[in-house]
Structures are given as C-alpha cells and as structure tokens.
Amino acid sequence: MNILAHLAYYQILGKPVLMYSGILTLTSFMFTALIPILNQKGIHKIPFSWHSRMAKLSFALVIIHAVLGLSVYF
C-alpha cells in the first residue's frame, strides 16, 4: 500500500480518515447550498460573497476525498 492509502484508512476513533473527509465534504456542500437560500429568505448573517468561496472549498475537498478514496486502487 502506498502512503495515501495508509492515510486514507488511518483510524481515528475507530473510523477511517476517508469517512471523516466524506462527512466534511458533504457538510461543506450543504453549507454552500444554504447560503443563497438564507439570503433569499432575508437572513443575511452570512454574506452572499461567501457562496463562491465555499464552492471552491467544497470542490477542493471533493478532490482530496476522491484522491484518498482512489489511492487504494493505484
């Protein structure tokens, strides 16, 4: 196994890092989608300018999660 595969399946509280990165990625996408919904309803606690920043962060997390997940096969 290579170093990325070891990192992907490193156990934290009995669960692999890959699972935690997936949860973080999903949460990031949900937060990204929530920003315009809240702004549309008149709740402006989070400025709309954060939507594009969160989208970039979400896609970066997706790439990291995919590389870790696919590292076992390469």
Residue 2 binned pLDDT confidence (cut-offs 50, 70, 90): confident
Range of the domain at 7: 3-70
CA–CA separation, 36 vs 23, rounded Å?
Answer: 21
65: amino acid identity, one letter: H
- pLDDT-derived band at 1 (thresholds 50, 70, 90) equals low
Number of structural domains found in the chain? 1
On whether the CB atoms of residues 72 and 6 are closer than 8 A, the answer is no
pTM of this prediction? 0.86
How does pLDDT run across 38-64, given as a tens digit for each residue? 999 999 899 999 999 999 999 999 999
- Give how far Cα 46 sits from Cα of 21, 41, 49, 71, Å: 24, 12, 8, 36
Question: 19: which 2 tokens?
Answer: 């699972």
Instruction: For residue 18, name the pLDDT band (cuts at 50, 70, 90).
Output: very high
